[in-house]
A and B are shown apart, each in its own frame.
Chain A
Amino acid sequence: MRLTLARAALIRHRARTLLAVLGVAVAAAMLLDMVMLATGMRESFRQLLLSRGFDIRLAPKGTLPFDTDATIPSVSAITTVLRSNPDIREISPVLGAAMHIQIAGRDISGSVLGIDPSVQGDYELLSGKDVSDPDAIVVNDHLLSQLHARMGDTLSVATGYDPQTRTYSGQRKLVLTGRVRFIYGAAEQSSGAVRRETLEAMEGGARRDRASLFMIRVRSGADPDRVRDWIETYIPTVSAISIATAIAQVDQRLSYFRQLAVILGAVSLFVGFLLVTTLMTVSVNERTGEIAVMRAIGISREHIVEQIVAEGVAISVAGAVLGLGLGLVTARYLNAILSAFPGLPTAIDFFLFQPQAAWSALGLLIISGIGAGIYPAWRAASLPISESLRREAIA
């Protein structure tokens, strides 16, 4: 009967109930979006790092991967040291450089990675063949669209541009063999990949036996953080970054962003709370006579409290369910806008739906709905019966 009365009370004022549900839905959508934003980038970044199974990255001391043009010297020696650790399963040195491709009288610039195709973790092959040959190059769709080239075409690729002498350190004819998607690449970035020894040869002596980055897979069951500590002890020229430390650094860089999301999320929750409290208080004030009569005919205080709280909860649940859909739609839209920000990997999502976080947020909203109903319910249950009836009669 309590639920019937609560449902009926809400239906009695359809328009008001609908507006309240919409208000809570907007607050819920905002809360959900802020939760998705607060945790989304971090989780998205973690998934990105884990996507190719590499546990540790080595960057020049004091830098992050590809943060600067600095490189790690003595790749061979470092590789030998790394191989001495039985917990290290695979080592993938990567050299990055700027490249220029002359085609049909145009100069198209982009970035190129020198990799070992057997252990690389930077791209996935979409079509064609990988760089199994020293004269092969694979490129991403953006570069391919700029080149207007086809598989099998020969490209004139130059690297090591010196702006003072306006010369390149190396130029080479490379055959376009494949179309790839760079996992850490931005949408508008023109990128390609060749074998590392090819890029080293083109870059000239200054960058021989050097790498911009090492990517390392550890043996199954081994602790990546222990391996990282071991590397930093035995190879002092590098910063070893495990996924945990990378995420910690990302966390640090995104802390303001996250704080903002938490504050806005809390504001949304509070707005939802106030909305339900206000509505239920108005509703109780309108029904003082009705409530007094219910009490007079023997309806208990508990019944009144349960009914009013149930009304608040019903509004909160309906708003939360509607807000879930609304939040997902707005998150998708906002994510599309923010992901188009220049220089960001396309695989990074700002708003990531994580069921547990979403349910927690919506659960919190529903709990706040219960809280929001308590004050008006307490007011309703505490109404002096005879006084309320007398006022109602006078009114």
Chain B
Amino acid sequence: MSEPTEAGTVHLDRVVVALRDVHREYPLGAERVHALQGVTLDVERGDYVAIVGPSGCGKSTLLNLIGAIDQPTSGTVEIGGKRVDAMSDWEATSFRLRNIGFVFQRFYLMPILTALENVALPMAEAKVPGDERRARAAELLAYVGLSNRGRHRPSQLSGGEQQRVAIARALANRPTLLLADEPTGELDAHTGAEIISLFRRLNADGVTIVVVTHDEDLANAARRKIHMRDGKVVDGVAAAGGHP
């Protein structure tokens, strides 16, 4: 079964992210900012979606809502069949820990922990036994090509290496969804290309990815591009360079 949405045609039985008529407003002094205005969007399992648009169009707000770190003013947000917009803080935190992986523009690794410890942090919070989490952290570092950098602290790693550690951390608890906000924004073109390649590999291995970006190369690497303007989704199409 398939159904057309603003973001294109999707199969509902495979939908991981389902937003329906989502609005998000912020107070800004005496004014109210309408960051999102009735967004409806579906993302299927295994999809790789790039959200693009000019600054201030609501891309990051949309990502925050999908990631259950913000709540809509109205509308519904379902991730993996669960309404995250109605979750309490405790429920949302627990949900994020087990179902969502975040990658940020500035990496945001804990500077005081080693690469291995950074990757293991979400697993420790999820009460994964020590041996198991160390083994999985090492495995994930190897996956992102940093098997020999586990004992290094973030300050001893390059920007690209730090972002790869952040991606490994995002995958720690085998999330349903990987969200990335400008993951190549702080990297040079060569390092950015490595991250783009890693994202493609992750998606090929079955990870569902939603990425917000201004980076044309990263957006073109996605299966679908969703264009936003003034808090609205204006179209959702297969990306030019999207891999099959």
Question: Residues on A close to B: CB < 8 A?
Answer: 1, 4-5, 8-9, 11-12, 289-290, 293-301, 303, 385-386, 389-390, 392-393
B110 is contacted by which of A290, A301, A393 (Cβ under 8 Å)?
Answer: A290
- Interface pairs (16), CB distance under 8 Å: A8-B110, A9-B112, A11-B112, A12-B112, A289-B108, A293-B104, A297-B97, A297-B101, A297-B121, A298-B96, A299-B122, A300-B94, A300-B97, A385-B64, A385-B69, A393-B106
B residues near A11, Cβ cutoff 8 Å: 112
| Min C-beta distance of A290 to chain B, whole Å | 7
| Min C-beta distance of A121 to chain B, whole Å | 64
B145 interface residue (CB < 8 Å to A): no
Contact B121 A1 (CB under 8 A): yes
A residues near B70, Cβ cutoff 8 Å: 385-386
B160 interface residue (CB < 8 Å to A): no
Interface residues of B in 99-139 (CB under 8 A from A): 100-102, 104-106, 108, 110-113, 117, 121-122, 124-126
Contact A293 B108 (CB under 8 A): yes
B170 interface residue (CB < 8 Å to A): yes
B169 interface residue (CB < 8 Å to A): yes
Contact B69 A300 (CB under 8 A): no
| Min C-beta distance of B110 to chain A, whole Å | 7
B93 interface residue (CB < 8 Å to A): yes
A residues near B89, Cβ cutoff 8 Å: 301
A residues near B93, Cβ cutoff 8 Å: 295, 298-301
A residues near B126, Cβ cutoff 8 Å: 298
Contact A8 B173 (CB under 8 A): no
B96 is contacted by which of A4, A12, A296, A303 (Cβ under 8 Å)?
Answer: A296
Known: A5-B113, A297-B121, A385-B64. 15 other contacts (CB 8 A): A8-B112, A293-B102, A293-B108, A295-B69, A297-B97, A298-B94, A298-B95, A298-B96, A298-B126, A299-B125, A300-B90, A301-B90, A385-B69, A386-B61, A389-B69
A5 is contacted by which of B61, B102, B108, B112 (Cβ under 8 Å)?
Answer: B112
Question: In the complex where A297-B121, A298-B96, A300-B125 touch, is A390 in contact with B60 (Cβ < 8 A)?
Answer: yes
Distance A392 CA – B182 CA, assembled complex (angstroms): 14
Contact B125 A1 (CB under 8 A): yes
| Min C-beta distance of A158 to chain B, whole Å | 81
Question: Residues on B close to A: CB < 8 A?
Answer: 60-61, 64, 67, 69-70, 89-90, 93-98, 100-102, 104-106, 108, 110-113, 117, 121-122, 124-126, 169-170, 173
Contact A12 B111 (CB under 8 A): yes
Contact A299 B108 (CB under 8 A): no
- At the interface, is chain A mostly helix, strand, loop or mixed? helix
Among B97, B101, B105, B125, residue most surrounded by chain A Cβ atoms (within 10 Å): B125
| Min C-beta distance of A131 to chain B, whole Å | 74
| Min C-beta distance of B243 to chain A, whole Å | 27
Contact A297 B124 (CB under 8 A): no
| Min C-beta distance of B107 to chain A, whole Å | 9
Question: In the complex where A1-B121, A297-B102 touch, is A8 in contact with B113 (Cβ < 8 A)?
Answer: yes
Distance A1 CA – B117 CA, assembled complex (angstroms): 9
Among B60, B67, B106, B112, residue most surrounded by chain A Cβ atoms (within 10 Å): B112
Contact B112 A386 (CB under 8 A): no
Task: Please provide the 9 A-B residue pairs with the shortest distance between their CB atoms, ordered closest to farther.
Answer: A298-B97, A8-B112, A293-B108, A386-B70, A385-B69, A386-B64, A1-B124, A298-B96, A296-B69
Distance A296 CA – B105 CA, assembled complex (angstroms): 14
Among A296, A298, A389, A390, residue most surrounded by chain B Cβ atoms (within 10 Å): A298
Closest Cβ neighbor of B117 among chain A residues: A4
| Min C-beta distance of A256 to chain B, whole Å | 50
Distance A67 CA – B109 CA, assembled complex (angstroms): 74
Distance A290 CA – B117 CA, assembled complex (angstroms): 15
Closest Cβ neighbor of A388 among chain B residues: B69
| Min C-beta distance of B55 to chain A, whole Å | 11
| Min C-beta distance of B89 to chain A, whole Å | 7
A389 is contacted by which of B104, B113, B121, B173 (Cβ under 8 Å)?
Answer: B104
Contact B110 A5 (CB under 8 A): yes
Distance A393 CA – B98 CA, assembled complex (angstroms): 25
Among A5, A9, A12, residue most surrounded by chain B Cβ atoms (within 10 Å): A5
Distance A223 CA – B44 CA, assembled complex (angstroms): 89
Closest Cβ neighbor of B71 among chain A residues: A386
